[in-house]
Amino acid sequence: MILAGDEIKKLISLGRLSIDPLRSDTVRENGLDLRIGREYAIYAYEGAAIRPCDLAEGEARRHFRIVKDAEEIAIPPRNFVLLTTEEYVKMPNDVVGLANLRSTLARYGLVIPPTVVDAGFEGNITIEVVNESPNTIVLKPGLRFLHLILVKTEGTAKYLGTYLGQRGVTPPKGLEGEC
């Protein structure tokens, strides 16, 4: 069941869902609109061979350049960046978020891969934004970019993964030992 705005407001008022900061335009008709934070990550090298299965957990991060306090975020053509939400989100243990790019940004050629924000997750949300266009797309922190659809689960769960409690943009972990 997808939660409508009034149900989302109830979760917030009961303290089961937390969004910080919470702005007047965050809760929408059928989800949350979250804003771009001031930090992003982009590959530090071009043309490198990245082997996730050979990288230990912390090693993958060295392949990314993290930019803090960005005034603008330039996404080169046919490339991608990792963006973070301005908001720190605490999800209930019985609600999952389905992340979507706002359709206006998609009309410029930006896309995000299917992304699930797990029940019980808390932190800033890091999202991969891909520029499929032939042009550099420049975004600004504070722009509403991510539409998070909230779905009620049957039963409860608690996310306990690597990204729990992340602050700012978080590059991927290495997958050594998983492959």
Q: Any idea which residues carry the catalytic annotation?
A: 128
End-to-end CA distance of the chain: 35
Instruction: Convert 47-89 into a string of H (helix), E (strand) and C (coil).
Output: CCCCCHHHCCCCHHHHHEEEECCCCCEEECCCEEEEEEEEEEE
Quote the CA–CA distance of 172 and 63 in Å, as a whole number: 10
Q: What number of H helices and E strands is found in the chain?
A: 2, 12
